[in-house]
Structures are given as structure tokens and as C-alpha cells.
Amino acid sequence: MDKIVFDFLHDLNENNNRDWFNLHKDIYQEARREVELFVDHLILNIKTFDPSIGDLPAKQSMFRIYRDIRFSKDKTPYKTYFGAYMAAGGRKSEEAGYYLHFAADECFASGGAYCPKSENLKKIRSEIYYNPDEFLGIVKSRDVNKTFGELKGEKLKRPPAGFPKDFAGIEWLKFKDFTVFAHFTEKQAVAPGFDTTLISIYKKMKPINDFLNRAIRD
């Protein structure tokens, strides 16, 4: 990843206003183009082990930098990060996929299902309920634990309706998100070979995405 991406993000973080942005829009466009090229490269490589994401252009997977401030107390007009969601259908996909986040203060790759709609959440919980050993075999595997640690996500305080409270894996069914994260530094992101490292991380997410998407697509 080119250093111009992070130089722009650091500057934007300190100058999040329209006047500054308009004066530096050419730098933003150059930085965004660098991210697009990088994401296109990632997609081509992800397709080699997960063809289900389809022929996805980077532009369809990347999020806009403009914030929706209509109902927010924070009126800063721009997001201070570049983000891309690589899954069938792009950034608006309902499927589990592969996410990339570049910011001045936080960089990470993540995967899984974030804020799935209620219908899909129920499907995922049912899949875990009927296949608990398979699910545990994936989230407790050596690759997953070593690379991501524990499964992350917001949880219910009480067991979800429609499932027996005495189910041995009830804590897993309380999850409202099913995600994993791998954090990295800006220094790592601009180093040669970072794309190879990132692709290896995404490969280790695939069993989680496969399990979740089996439920969602059913």
C-alpha cells in the first residue's frame, strides 16, 4: 500500500472540513485510486480460494468517504478511513465476507457477518444449534485462534427466543454479530509483501464465512 494513503488520512483526521477537503481533493482521489488498485488485487486473489464473491470490482466494494450527518451529533463531513467489503454483491451484501479497514489510528482485516438482518441471524443461530461440533471445530481451530483470537460480536444478555435455554452452546447463540479481526500497523501496511500477508489472513477466515453463508443462503 502506498504511503500517500496514510498521509492523506492523517491530514484528514486533523482537517475534517469541506474547505480543506476541496483544496486537497486531488490528493484524496489519488489516495482512493491506490486503495482501489489494492482492493482489485485482493479480490482477484480471494477469488482463487473463494469464487463465490464473483466478478466484483473494487468500486462496488468500497465505502463512500462522505458521512451521512443528517441524524448524527457529529457533524464532521468525512469518514477518516478507507473501507472495503469484499463479498458477493459488494459493500451492500447480506452475506459473510472479507473486510479491509485503513485509518490513521486503526487498521484491520475482518470477516464474518456483521449486523446480519433478523432473518439471517435466526438462520445462523439455527445452523449453530444443529451443527455445534462443526461450528466449534471452526472457531476453536488453531488457525482461527492464532490469527484472530476469540469470535467477536455484540451479544444478547438472555438466550434468544425459539432456542432451548439448556442448549450446551447457548452462549454462541447469544451473539448478534459473528466476526473475527486481525489488526495491523501502518508500518506493516506500507511494507513490501503486505498483500501476501493479508491474503493469507483472508484464507483463514474462509471456513467461518463458509459456515455462515451456508446458513444465510439456505
Per-residue confidence (pLDDT) for residue 95, from 0 to 100: 96
Angle 194-217/25-49 helices, nearest 10 degrees? 60
User: In sequence order, which residues have a C-beta less than 8 Å from that of residue 136 and are 6 or more positions away?
Assistant: 169
Cell of 85: 467489503
Per-residue confidence (pLDDT) for residue 74, from 0 to 100: 84
Q: Which of 100, 56, 58, 80 is nearest to 189 (CA)?
A: 100
Alpha helix stretches (DSSP H) within the chain: 3-14, 18-23, 25-49, 58-61, 118-130, 132-139, 142-148, 170-173, 186-189, 194-217
Judge whether 109 and 201 are in contact, CB under 8 Å.
yes
pLDDT tens-place values along the chain, 218 residues long? 899 999 999 999 999 999 999 999 999 999 999 999 999 999 999 999 999 999 999 999 999 999 988 888 888 999 999 999 999 999 999 999 999 999 998 999 999 999 999 999 999 999 999 999 999 999 999 999 999 999 999 999 999 999 999 999 999 999 999 999 999 999 999 999 999 999 999 999 999 999 999 999 98
Backbone angles phi, psi at 99, to 5 degrees: -115, 145
Q: Which domain holds residue 48?
A: 3-217
Cell of 117: 438482518
Number of domains in the chain: 1
Q: What pTM did the predictor assign?
A: 0.94
Residue 112's DSSP bridge partners are 97, 179
Q: How many CB atoms lie within 10 A of CB 180?
A: 23
The Cα 155–Cα 157 span in angstroms is: 6
* Residue 209: CATH number of its domain: 3.30.930
Q: Which of 106, 127, 117, 99 is nearest to 39 (CA)?
A: 99
Per-residue confidence (pLDDT) for residue 27, from 0 to 100: 97
